[in-house]
Amino acid sequence: MSNIAIVDYGMGNIRSVAQAVMKVAPECKVVIAHQPEQIKHADKIILPGQGAMPDCMLNLKNSGLYDALMDAIKNKPLLGVCVGEQMLFDHSDESHVVHEKTPCLGVIPGKVIRFAPNMMHSDGTHLKVPHMGWNEVFQQQMHPLWDGVPNQARFYFVHSYHVVPDNKIHEFGTTNYGGLFTSAIAKDNIFATQFHPEKSAKDGLRIYQNFTRWNP
């Protein structure tokens, strides 16, 4: 039985994630982690996130969970979701100060950028930002968390920013919205998605189930 800690720093869709994991893996112990010890004692970690990156990073550091999370990232299986994916990169263009970047966790080399303005559909109509709704994910590399998930399955997105990894070796999924962007990444014991598996019906639940069984 795995002990799975969902990192609660006040900026994530915590309850929905917890319910999704408990549904697909009732044998696992799911802990909403408010204390560093809960992360230290967990076998696996889920890092969700919603909201502006500067607020997410500030809340994480003020929560007292930062050091325990960074230590866990070194060797425990970790699943990042939405802003939880973006936080793994070096820095984000999303900032409360014009022309400044927000430093992130620096686990995956790369950056987080905003969708370009004035993107268009093929029919000439404008694409809205944030990107919101269901969209296909093209699996770029095989991974245990894709097991049982069809290529080009549709997942639910809500975001204005997306990651740009320095090295394509970390790109495991892409999505077309005004051009292809990286929508899933992986490195060693880390897998992360821009989309919300907990809002993505059976294929999203399958990703959570695969994560509970993953032993990198």
**What is the model's pLDDT at position 149?**
98
What is the model's pLDDT at position 34? 95
Please state, for a pLDDT cut of 70, what percent of the chain lies above it: 100
* Helix or strand holding residue 113 (H, E): strand 108-114
Q: How far is the CA of 136 from the CAs of 173, 176, 183, in angstroms?
A: 10, 7, 10
Over residues 99-141, the pLDDT tens digits come to 899 999 999 999 999 999 888 887 878 899 999 999 999 999 9
Q: Which own/partner contact pairs does 163-169 have at CB distance under 8 Å and 24+ positions apart?
A: 163/85, 163/86, 163/89, 163/108, 163/110, 163/111, 163/112, 163/194, 164/110, 164/111, 164/112, 164/113, 165/89, 165/108, 165/109, 165/110, 166/109, 166/110, 167/109, 167/110, 168/140
- pLDDT number for residue 103: 97
Dist CA 41 CA 59 (whole Å): 22
State the pLDDT at residue 104: 98
How many structural domains does the chain have? 1
pLDDT digits (tens, 9 = 90+) for 31-75: 999 999 999 999 999 999 999 999 999 999 999 999 999 999 999
- For the annotated catalytic residues, the residue numbers are 82, 196, 198
3-state DSSP assignment of residue 211: helix
Q: What is the pLDDT of residue 89?
A: 98
Give pLDDT, residue 51: 92
CA distance 96 to 118: 22
pLDDT in tens, 197-215: 999 999 999 999 999 999 9
Domain residues for 169?
3-213
The mean of the pLDDT values for the chain is: 96
The CATH number of residue 111's host domain is 3.40.50.880
pLDDT (average), residues 15-26: 96
pTM, 2 dp: 0.96
CB burial string 100-125: b at 16+ within 10 A, e below: ebbebbebbebbbeebeeeeeeeeee
